[in-house]
C-alpha cells in the first residue's frame, strides 16, 4: 500500500550547489535521494517546496516522497538521518494525504535574510556562513518604511532575475518585516510563492535604501516600472534561509476522505 511521506529538512547550504539535482555537483536533492533509496529499497521521486539556490540555507524545507515501505515514520527519520552528512538533517518524517504535494499544496512560506551590520567581521560571532556582512551603517527605519511597500499582490518583475519568465509575474507578499537585533538586521519575507531571486533582490534594494541611495517611496516606482534595472543588486545567497512552509491542515493527515461508518 502506497504512503505519502512529508520530510521536514534543514541544511547548511554553503557546500551544496543548491537543491536541484545537477550532474557533477553536490546538491541537497541528490544527496538525500541516495540515502532514501537505500532505506526505502526502491527508486524515489523527491519533490521539495522550492529549489533553493547554491549557498542558501534551510531551517524548514519540506519535501515529499511516495513509498511502499512500511517502516514507521519515527524509525525512518533515524534511519535516513543517520546516513546523511553533517550539513543536512531530517527534523521529522510524517505520513500525509496522498494528494499532498510539497510545491502545489504550499499555502505560504517564510524566508529570512540576515545582515551583520557592523564594521567588525561576523567571524567574531561565528556566523559568517549565515549572515551577509555589510559594514556601512544602515537606517532600519527607512528600510522598514520601504519594506511595507512590498506587501500585497503586485507585479514583481523588477525584483525577479532578468532571465525569470513566468506565466504571471504577480506574487502576493503577506509581510516584509525589518528588525534589528543588536549588530544583526533580520528581514523576514512571507509570501504565497516567489519568483527566481525575488527575495534576494528585495533585500539588495532595501540595503540600498538603508544606506541612503534611494528614498523608501521609490519602491512604488520600481515595481510600477517592471524593469529589473530599476531596482537594487542581488544580495548574496549565504544570508538567506528558508524558515518554514505552511500547508492546509487537512493535507497533513494521511486520510483525505472520511471513513464510511454504518448508519442506523
CB 135 within 8 A of CB 116: no
Residues 75, 109: Cα–Cα separation, whole Å: 28
Choose the catalytic residue: 53, 177, 183, 188. Answer: 53
> What single DSSP character describes residue 257?
S
Rounded to the nearest 5°, which phi and psi values hold at 169? Answer: -100, 10
Query: Cα–Cα distance between 95 and 67 in angstroms, integer?
Result: 10
- 170-181 and 184-191: which strand pairing? antiparallel
- Determine the longest span between alpha carbons in the chain, in angstroms: 75
- How many beta carbons lie within 10 A of that of residue 162, not counting itself? 11
Q: Is 183 a catalytic residue?
A: no
Structure-block grid coordinates of residue 76? 525512518
Distance set, CA 79 to CA 27, 55, 58, 90, 237 (Å): 20, 26, 21, 10, 31
- Hey, what's the cell of 59? 531551517
Q: Active-site residue numbers?
A: 53
Amino acid at each position: 500500500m502506497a504512503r505519502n511521506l512529508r520530510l521536514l529538512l534543514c541544511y547548511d547550504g554553503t557546500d551544496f550547489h543548491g537543491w536541484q539535482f545537477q550532474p557533477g555537483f553536490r546538491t541537497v536533492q541528490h544527496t538525500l535521494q541516495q540515502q532514501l533509496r537505500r532505506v526505502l529499497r526502491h527508486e524515489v521521486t523527491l519533490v521539495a517546496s522550492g529549489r533553493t539556490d547554491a549557498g542558501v540555507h534551510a531551517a524548514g524545507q519540506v519535501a515529499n516522497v511516495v513509498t511502499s515501505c512500511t517502516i514507521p515514520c519515527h524509525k525512518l527519520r533515524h534511519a535516513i538521518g543517520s546516513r546523511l552528512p553533517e550539513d543536512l538533517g531530517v527534523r521529522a518524517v510524517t505520513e500525509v494525504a496522498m494528494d499532498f504535494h510539497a510545491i502545489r499544496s504550499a499555502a505560504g512560506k517564510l524566508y529570512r535574510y540576515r545582515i551583520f551590520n557592523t564594521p567588525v567581521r561576523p567571524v567574531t560571532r561565528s556566523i559568517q556562513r549565515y549572515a551577509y556582512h555589510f559594514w556601512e551603517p544602515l537606517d532600519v527605519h527607512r528600510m522598514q518604511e520601504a519594506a511595507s511597500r512590498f506587501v500585497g499582490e503586485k507585479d514583481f518583475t523588477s525584483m525577479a532575475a532578468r532571465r525569470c519568465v513566468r506565466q504571471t509575474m504577480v506574487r502576493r507578499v503577506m509581510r516584509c518585516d525589518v528588525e534589528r537585533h543588536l549588530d544583526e538586521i533580520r528581514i523576514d519575507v512571507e509570501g504565497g510563492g516567489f519568483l527566481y531571486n525575488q527575495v534576494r533582490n528585495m533585500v539588495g534594494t532595501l540595503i540600498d535604501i538603508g544606506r541612503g541611495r534611494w528614498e523608501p517611496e521609490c519602491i512604488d516606482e520600481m515595481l510600477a516600472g517592471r524593469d529589473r534595472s530599476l531596482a537594487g543588486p542581488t544580495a548574496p545567497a549565504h544570508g538567506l534561509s528558508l524558515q518554514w512552509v505552511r500547508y492546509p491542515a487537512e493535507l497533513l493527515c494521511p486520510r483525505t476522505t472520511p471513513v464510511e461508518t454504518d448508519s442506523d
